[in-house]
Structure 1
Amino acid sequence: MADPGAPASDPPVPARSTVGSGDLPLAVWQTPRVGPTVVLVHGFPDTHAVWDPVVRRLQDRFHCVTYDVRGAGESGVPRRQDAYAVRHLVADLAAVMDTVSPDQPVHLVGHDWGSIQAWEAVIRERSDVRFRGRIASYSTISGPCLDHVAAFSRSALHGGWNRKREGLHQLLHSWYVYAFHLPLLPEYVLRHASLLVRDEGRHRHFGPTLTDDAVNGLNLYRANIFARRERVPGGATTDVPVQLVVPLRDRYVLPQLTQDLHRFASDLTRLEVDAGHWVLLSSPDELASALAAFVDAHDVRR
């Protein structure tokens, strides 16, 4: 058996295709069809390429699929802010899943906003025909379910001093969420500030569409954070096996935000890693090994 932590020599270049979600084109990349299908969804302000170091370590054993979410990279850019609502992001995910693995369940992996939108599919797996029986497992990284965040906020507001302190700590680390709702200023800052090319004390690799991706990505926050949530039939819980990857040095999503996740996920595995928010770039070997082990443990191909 190949070591998932060791990159394959001269790996084949993932094949690019286009998947339609309504009238919006999504740019999709797939490695050869080997083993279970793993769909990896990127966050803000990234593109599918942020997953490349992990994909290179997985593609000898798994059919890896990445795509540029709406508004990012080579995918279509909606004009209206409300077109970035979670319900549309979930429709995009369903379209990709139906195209790349029409007959078999997939293993979802999400980071940052990719994790937030994948959570939406996971908690609706029982009630939404598009996802029923289609998700074999889910690995979530630094992107909590919006319903779970609301529950954490209520607990912090009405709980004891320790819970209030945890809530305040997370609130302070989420300053950018509120700043992104200001008119015009975030667009100006994102187009001119060096913060886009530096994070957590080190330079990151970004593609040529970074600035546009970041500005378009503001709509993810504006269309969803304070929007009225559509009720999830049966509540925001799931029986899908969930692996929670917790980067202990994440400056944006603190570990305490997901400490009650066991209330919502009946089959939960928690993995703490000594890394920052972009663990997929800083620790691809460790992350790829964890993802491979979790997929292997929940391979339900028919």
Structure 2
Amino acid sequence: MTEPRDPGRHPVDGPAPDRRWRIPVDGFELAGFEWGAPGAPPLILVHGASDTHHAWEQVAAILADEFRVITYDVRGHGRSGAPRELGAYRLDRLAEDIYAVIDTVSPDRPVHLAGHGWGAVQGWEAVLDPRASTRIASFTALSAPHLDHLGLWLHQVRQRTRRTVHRVQARTVRRLATAPPLERRAAGGRARRTTPMASALDEARLTLHSSPSMLRRALYQPRVRAGMHRLTHRSAHQQAPIAPTWRADLLAGARIVRANLGHHLRHPRDQHTAVPVQLLLDAADPAARPGVRAAVQARVDRLWCYTLPANHWLPVTEPLLVGEAIANFVSDLRADSDPIVGNTR
């Protein structure tokens, strides 16, 4: 669910599911929805924070001819129950919900899994679980690596920054010991004398301005945040179905972020998975950075990675593209094709 741009807009109904169900978990119930024949290969779609199953409806309708498509409202969202305690929204609890759905809809057959945004983060948590080797046949992650992968990459960035600062400090010592006073041409053509210490401090200042903490402060500037919001929400606001529970969905999404983001970025786990993974990224997504992709690739035995010419809200804005990507991925696995890391134009 995306917060409505126009308060006068009404909810938009997508393709109606063929079946509905509810299952008990942790003292409340999850609301589930299905499209397609019950005997078809099962495919579970997990929506992101502050969305509902409606975000997947167009994709589900496209894939219903080939799969038994299952979606559900993540705890706290849509028609599912909403626990109050923050700890109930940790990734391990959300992954348990995925396995509860798997055990309900396909107890004897592995399922294909796909997630978008924070739904992909939940899916990553599930495929990194030892049970995934026999319960999950494939995983498609849209617009998100696992938070642990992102945290490991940020740790590498911090280490490189520290090494750079140490090199600057070493150069400072050498210059103080050996270099004579310098002359620099100032504005207006006049020369000014500077010391080795001042020159080294200038270099250190330049280095610090490229550090992660400086970048974080820059990203929190109001103008930058407003631009990022416009970039990621412009097209989705015009097409996304608006659930009547959107206010509660926003709160639940905030709880998921609060319960997980800081912890996993500060204390990332180095885990691997043998489940075949397809990672679909939009070109502007932070996860499309080569370093992040490398962190994912090092921890996934079989990875297909594509950068798509689309925005973050792929299931809403490009349902046919997403449906084809998932169907082709499953087909490739049946043909036992080799992993690919590349671009789709």
Measured against the shorter chain, the TM-score band is 0.7 to 0.9
* Structure 1 position 53 matched with structure 2 position 87: no
1:249 is displaced (CA, Å) by 3.4
Measure the CA separation in 1 of the matches of 2:250 and 2:314. Answer: 19
Q: Which residue in 1 is equivalent to 2:6?
A: none
Q: Is the 8 A contact 2:90 2:256 kept in 1?
A: yes
* Structure 1 position 236 matched with structure 2 position 236: no
TM-score computed with the length of structure 1 as normaliser: 0.78
1:99 is displaced (CA, Å) by 0.4
Q: Which residue in 2 is equivalent to 1:210?
A: 246
Amino acid at match of 1:28: G
1:258 is displaced (CA, Å) by 3.2
* Structure 1 position 38 matched with structure 2 position 74: no
Aligned length: 263
* Residue from 97, 105, 109 that aligns with 1:104: 109
1:205 is displaced (CA, Å) by 2.6
* Structure 1 position 278 matched with structure 2 position 313: yes
Measure the CA separation in 2 of the matches of 1:174 and 1:92. Answer: 34
* Residue from 289, 292, 295 that aligns with 2:327: 292
Q: Deviations over 1:52-80 (max 9, x none)?
A: 11111100110100000000000000011
Q: Is the 8 A contact 1:29 1:66 kept in 2?
A: yes
Going from structure 1 to structure 2, the CA distance change for 1:217 and 1:101 (only over 3 Å counts) comes to same
The more displaced of 94-103 and 13-22 is 13-22
1:22 is displaced (CA, Å) by 2.6
* Residue from 26, 46, 54 that aligns with 1:22: 26
1:299 is displaced (CA, Å) by 4.7
Q: Which residue in 2 is equivalent to 1:258?
A: 292
Q: Is the 8 A contact 2:111 2:135 kept in 1?
A: yes
1:121 is displaced (CA, Å) by 1.1
Structure with greater helix share of residues: 2
Measure the CA separation in 1 of the matches of 2:215 and 2:101. Answer: 33
Q: Deviations over 1:188-221 (max 9, x none)?
A: xxxxxxx79x912552331111111001221101
Measure the CA separation in 2 of the matches of 1:269 and 1:294. Answer: 8
Going from structure 1 to structure 2, the CA distance change for 1:270 and 1:132 (only over 3 Å counts) comes to closer
Measure the CA separation in 1 of the matches of 2:217 and 2:143. Answer: 16
Amino acid at match of 1:205: P
Q: Which residue in 1 is equivalent to 2:258?
A: 222
* Residue from 66, 85, 101 that aligns with 1:80: 85
Measure the CA separation in 2 of the matches of 1:38 and 1:87. Answer: 21
1:165 is displaced (CA, Å) by 5.9
* Residue from 233, 247, 257 that aligns with 1:199: 233
Q: Is the 8 A contact 2:133 2:275 kept in 1?
A: no
Amino acid at match of 2:273: T
Q: Which residue in 1 is equivalent to 2:176?
A: none
SS at 2:263's partner residue? coil
Going from structure 1 to structure 2, the CA distance change for 1:12 and 1:207 (only over 3 Å counts) comes to closer
Match runs of 1:121-270 below 5 Å? 121-124=126-129, 127=130, 129=131, 131-159=132-160, 171=216, 199-201=233-235, 202-203=237-238, 204-227=240-263, 235-250=270-285, 253-256=286-289, 258-260=292-294, 261-270=296-305
Q: Is the 8 A contact 2:133 2:274 kept in 1?
A: no
Amino acid at match of 2:249: D
Q: Which runs of 5+ in 1 are unaligned?
A: 1-10, 177-194
Q: Is the 8 A contact 2:148 2:268 kept in 1?
A: no
- Identical pairs, percent: 33
Going from structure 1 to structure 2, the CA distance change for 1:99 and 1:51 (only over 3 Å counts) comes to same
Measure the CA separation in 1 of the matches of 2:154 and 2:39. Answer: 42
Q: Is the 8 A contact 1:34 1:60 kept in 2?
A: no
Q: Is the 8 A contact 2:297 2:303 kept in 1?
A: yes
Going from structure 1 to structure 2, the CA distance change for 1:154 and 1:100 (only over 3 Å counts) comes to same
Amino acid at match of 1:209: T
Q: Is the 8 A contact 1:249 1:274 kept in 2?
A: no
Amino acid at match of 2:95: V
Q: Which residue in 1 is equivalent to 2:187?
A: none
